[in-house]
Chain A
Amino acid sequence: MVALRQEEMQRLAEKTVSLAQTRGADEAEAFVYQGLTTNVSIERGQISKSSRIIDRGLGVRAILGKATGFCYTNILESEAAIEETVLKALSFAKASKPDEDWRGLPSKKAFSSVEGTYDDRIVELNSEELVEVASAMLDAAEKIDKRIFPIEGGAGSSYLCKAVANSNGVEGFDHGTIVECSLVTIAKEEGKVTPICFEFDIKRKYDINPEWVGKEAAGLTVSALKAKRTETKNIKVIFTQFALQQLLQYTLINAVNADYIQRNQSAFKNKKGEKVASEIVNIYDDGLFDGGLRTWKFDGEGVPQQKTPIIEKGILLNYIYDNYTAKKEGRESTGNAWRAGYLSTPSVEATNFHIIPRNKSPEELISELKDGLLVYYLQGAHSSNPVSGEFSVVATPAWKIENGEIAYAVKGAMLVGDIFQVLMNISELADNERKIGQLISPWVCAENVKVIGK
Chain B
Amino acid sequence: MEDILSKVIDVAVQKFAVEYAEIRAQKLFKTMLTLKEERVEAAKQGIENGVALRVLVNGAWGFASVGTLDAETLISAVSDACRMAKAASSRLRKPIKLAKAEAVEDKVSMKFGKDPSKISIEEKINTTLSMSKTILGYDSRIKSCTIDYLDLTGTTWFMNNEGTCIEQDKLYVWSRLLATATKAGIFTFSREEIGSTAGYEVFDVETPEIVGERVAKRAVEQLDAKPAKGGTFPAVLGPNVVGVFVHEAFGHLAEADLTLSGSILLDKLGKKIASKLVTFYDDGTIEGAFGSFEYDDEGVPTEKTLLVKDGVIVGLMHNRETAKKFGVEPTGNARAEDFRFEPIIRMRNTVMEPKDHSFEELVEDVKFGYYFKSFRGGEANLDGTFQVGIQEAYEIVNGEVGAPIRNASISGNTVGTLMKIDAVGKDFELNPGRCGKGQTAFVCDGGPHIRVKEVLVGGSA
Contacts and interface: CB of A to CB of B under 8 A. Distances in A.
A392 B390 CA distance: 9
A10 interface: no
Contacts, number: 294
Interface in B67-107: 67-68, 70, 73, 76-77, 80-81, 83-85, 87-88, 90-94, 96
Given A263-B36, A388-B187, A68 B120 contact: no
B434 to A, nearest CB: 12
A99 interface: yes
B401 to A, nearest CB: 21
A75 interface: yes
A292 B411 CA distance: 36
Interface string B42-80: 111111111000000001111111111010010011001
A1 B73 contact: yes
Given A95-B120, A265-B144, A52 B81 contact: yes
A114 interface: no
B460 A417 contact: yes
Contacts of B93: 45-46
23 contacts: A1-B66, A46-B94, A50-B60, A52-B64, A54-B65, A68-B43, A73-B47, A74-B47, A96-B121, A99-B39, A127-B87, A131-B91, A151-B262, A196-B381, A196-B382, A263-B36, A264-B182, A380-B389, A390-B460, A391-B407, A394-B411, A414-B458, A454-B456
A394 B456 CA distance: 11
The 4 closest A-B pairs by CB, nearest first: A383-B389, A383-B377, A380-B387, A392-B458
Contacts of A263: 36-37, 143-144, 180
Nearest to B62: A50
A387 B183 CA distance: 13
B264 interface: yes
A330 interface: no
Contact of A186 (B44, B45, B143, B262): B262
A394 B381 CA distance: 10
A424 interface: no
A61 B43 CA distance: 10
A73 B407 CA distance: 40
A56 B44 contact: no
B384 A193 contact: yes
Given A54-B67, A57-B67, A73-B47, 7 more contacts: A52-B63, A196-B383, A380-B379, A383-B389, A385-B188, A392-B407, A394-B379
A345 B148 CA distance: 13
B62 A46 contact: no
B383 A411 contact: yes
A151 B261 contact: yes
Contact of B382 (A55, A193, A388, A416): A193
Contacts of A394: 379, 381, 385, 387, 411, 458
A54 to B, nearest CB: 5
A359 interface: no
B378 interface: yes
B231 A416 contact: no
Interface in A365-391: 379-380, 382-388, 390-391
Interface stretch (A85-93, A159-167, A313-321, A432-440): A85-93
A345 B45 CA distance: 11
A67 B378 CA distance: 37
Interface string A127-156: 110110011000000000000010110000
B413 A128 contact: no
A383 B47 contact: no
Contacts of B45: 70-72, 88, 92
A140 B456 CA distance: 38
B445 interface: no
Contacts of A44: 257, 260-261
Contact of B408 (A77, A96, A196, A392): A392
Nearest to B70: A77
Contact of B47 (A68, A72, A135, A387): A72
B262 A69 contact: no
A450 interface: yes
B379 A382 contact: yes
Contacts of B406: 385, 390
B283 interface: no
Contacts of B80: 52
Contacts of B144: 263-265
A180 to B, nearest CB: 14
A93 B44 CA distance: 9
Given A55-B340, A195-B381, A70 B182 contact: no
A450 B62 contact: no
A11 B342 CA distance: 33
A128 B62 CA distance: 12
A265 B65 CA distance: 40
A382 B189 CA distance: 13
B91 A416 contact: no
Nearest to A149: B262
A351 interface: no
Contacts of A396: 381, 383, 385
A423 to B, nearest CB: 16
Contacts of B73: 1
A196 to B, nearest CB: 5
Given A45-B93, A48-B88, A195-B382, A264 B180 contact: yes
Nearest to A61: B42
B411 A412 contact: yes
A170 interface: no
B187 A267 contact: yes
B376 interface: yes
B186 interface: yes
Interface centre among A45, A264, A416 (most CB of B within 10 A): A416
B458 A135 contact: no
B186 A388 contact: yes
A423 B382 CA distance: 31
A119 to B, nearest CB: 21
Nearest to A151: B261
Contacts of B389: 380, 382-384, 392
Nearest to A56: B67
A344 B46 CA distance: 9
Interface string B285-326: 000000000000000000000000000000000000000000
Contacts of A61: 42
Contacts of B381: 195-196, 379, 394, 396
Contacts of A54: 65-67
A379 B92 contact: no
A235 interface: no
Nearest to A266: B187
A38 B186 CA distance: 47
A73 B182 CA distance: 40
A96 B125 contact: yes
B459 interface: yes
B177 to A, nearest CB: 14
